[in-house]
Each structure stands twice: as structure tokens, then as C-alpha cells.
Amino acid sequence: MEGTQPKPACSVSHSPAYRVGIDLGGTNIAVGVVDENYHIAAKHSIPTGAQRPYQEIVEDMKKAVKTALQIAGVSPGECCSVGIGSPGICDSETGTVVYSNNLGWKDVPLTADLQKWINLPCRLSNDANCAALGEVAAGAAKGCKNAVLITLGTGVGGGVVLDGKIFSGCHSAGAELGHTVIVKDGELCTCGRHGCLEAYASATGLIRQTKRAAQQHPESLIWKLCGGDPERISGRTPFEAERQGDETGRQVVDAYLSYLSEGVVDFVNIFRPECVILGGGICNEGARLLDPINAYVCHYCFGGELVEAPRVIRAALGNDAGIIGAALL
């Protein structure tokens, strides 16, 4: 929802104190009952079964909400809203999933269907937006009013919180940070353009770069680490190779970080957030990931030497960010 505040509007005394957050993923549906302090009182997760018809998935969502409420010992009457974070383009105004590649959905009236059943206000937003809102309310960016979240997974997701509100643009189709071009005529992206950040900074992009480097360097430790099978190369492989002293691994990691840093500086220059939050499995690399990006941002962001540069930090809530953020919609 445009204009979403991370602070519960219904937290005055004697009002329903809980909110339900649903993180609808391609793999799992995770439901959390979130209290006024943004803590998850109870959580319940079930497989999405994304290949199934829409109606079956919605029925399972309802059951998962019911179970999560039971575990929490909370009745629907003690809740003031239900929020859903879904992959894809989600129109927050109409509560419709306009398009989701992961779920195979097109123009699905998700909040209308849930609202009929639970009789609570239901809200919808993109999953990366929810994660950004969750991190601002209760995670790595707690206390920040302006934050940008970038998730580094199969693709590159983006969530933007400005003045404490999700910014998602017209028809909620904005903040697609992964599809901004950092290399003109570069790698082909899933969106059809060339040179998008997603094509370089996603785990998929990193794996592609690692495979290519390994092919050019038969002596690289990457081959040993993947047992000679390039299909076993993961986003961790080049980092591990570098840790073991491999020069090719180091070059892949350095190149990856320079691409990612380029994108981060662009977002800093556009939004000037208080912090940039990075999420996704690659963040487990910790300082090896964050230190060079922070140095690059300090050096290259506009006015970097004159004005304090935003911090680039790691997401703190993991999958819970999506549940908490959805609950706060």
C-alpha cells in the first residue's frame, strides 16, 4: 500500500493488537502473527506448491493463517489487519497480483479473496518492499526513515522506504532496482534488456561469471571445489576459492563486488538513504562483501567526501523481514 507507515495505526489501547503477515514465496507460504512490538508471536510455514491452481494455494493460505493464529493463541478479533508480500508485480491499490513469474499468476485478486474469508482489512505489496519495511521497523535499519534494500538471490530484488513509507511507484510497478543498467550492451537479462544489475549481481550472475572464469583457467581451485562439475558451482564457490588462495576466485569476487558497488552507488545517488541493506545468501560472506562496497560508496557517491555516506549493511531478519513487513502493510 502506498503511504504505508511502519508504525501500527491500531495500537491504541483496547484496539486489536496483532497483525497477520504472509510471506508468499515460490517455495513456501510463511505466516506470522506479529505483535505491537514487531515480534513474531507465532509462525507457521507450508509448501506453496506453486504449480497448483490459484484457488488451491489461496485455500492453503487461509489454513496457514488459521493455524498460525491457533499457535499464537490469538483470535481474528484480536487482529487488525492481514498483509501479504508476494513475488512479482503487485498492485497495492487494487490488491491484485498483476503478474508473478514464480507463481505463474496473472491478474489475481488476492486481497479480495482473503478479505471475504477473514473479514479483516487485507493489504498486498511486493515481497522485496515488505522485506525493506520489516528491516526498517525491526531489523538492520531500525530507526531509519529512508532505506534501500537489495536482495541478491536468483534475481535482484529491490525495496525502497522513503520517509518511513514504501515507495513503489505508479501501479506499484516501480523500485525494480535489479533492472537498472550498469553495463551498456552487457549481459542479457531475464527482462530482455542487456547489462542490468540483476545479470551481474544476482547469485545466478555470479555463478555464470564463476563458470566462465573457471573455463578460462583450468588450473583454478574452482574446479577442485566443484568436483570437476561446473553445475555444482554455487555463489559460495568463488569466495571459498579465494579464501584458499586462488587467484581466479579472487578476480571473480573482485569483479562481482565492483558490479554490485556500481549499482549501490546509483541507488545512493538517487535516493540518498540512511542505509543500504543487502539481503540474500551471498551476504553470509560478511566483511569480504561489505567492506569493499562501503569503501566504494564512500569514495564515489555524490558528495561522498563532503557529506557522510550511507552505510551498506547486511539484512538482519532473514525471512522474518518479509513477514513483519507484510504485517505492517
| CB-nearer residue toward Zn ion: 191 or 270 | 191
Phi, psi dihedral angles at 266 (to 5 degrees)? -60, -45
Which of 189, 265, 277, 289 is in the footprint of Zn ion by CB under 5 A?
189
| CB-nearer residue toward Zn ion: 193 or 208 | 193
Which of 112, 188, 191, 270 is in the footprint of Zn ion by CB under 5 A?
191
| CB-nearer residue toward Zn ion: 61 or 207 | 207
| CB-nearer residue toward Zn ion: 111 or 204 | 204
What distance in Å separates the CA atoms of residue 210 and residue 164, rounded to the nearest whole number? 38
Which residue, 14, 177, 135, is CA-closest to 80? 14
Residues 6+ apart with CB under 8 A from 22: 29, 30, 31, 32, 61, 64, 65, 82, 83, 84, 85, 323, 326
What distance in Å separates the CA atoms of residue 18 and residue 79, rounded to the nearest whole number? 4
Q: Which stretch binds Zn ion (CB under 5 A): 3-11, 26-34, 175-183, 237-245?
A: 175-183
Contact between 175 and Zn ion by CB under 5 A: the answer reads: no
CB of 198 to Zn ion, least distance (A): 5
CB of 155 to Zn ion, least distance (A): 9
What distance in Å separates the CA atoms of residue 175 and residue 167, rounded to the nearest whole number? 7
Burial of 114 (0-12, 13-18, 19+ CB in 10 A): buried
CB of 174 to Zn ion, least distance (A): 14
User: In whole angstroms, how large is the CA radius of gyration of the chain?
Assistant: 20
CB of 73 to Zn ion, least distance (A): 45
Q: Which stretch binds Zn ion (CB under 5 A): 4-12, 28-36, 186-194, 297-305?
A: 186-194
What distance in Å separates the CA atoms of residue 206 and residue 194, rounded to the nearest whole number? 16
The HSE-up count of residue 31 (CA atoms within 13 Å, CB side) is: 23
CB of 189 to Zn ion, least distance (A): 3
What distance in Å separates the CA atoms of residue 8 and residue 123, rounded to the nearest whole number? 14
Which of 65, 160, 196, 257 is in the footprint of Zn ion by CB under 5 A?
196
Which of 63, 106, 145, 179 is in the footprint of Zn ion by CB under 5 A?
179
Q: Which stretch binds Zn ion (CB under 5 A): 137-145, 147-155, 193-201, 289-297?
A: 193-201
Kindly state the cell numbers that stand for 196.
542490468
Cell 538513504 maps to which residue? 273
CB of 185 to Zn ion, least distance (A): 13
By CB under 5 A, how many residues form the interface with Zn ion?
5
| CB-nearer residue toward Zn ion: 203 or 241 | 203
**Applying CB under 5 A, which residues contact Zn ion?**
179, 189, 191, 193, 196
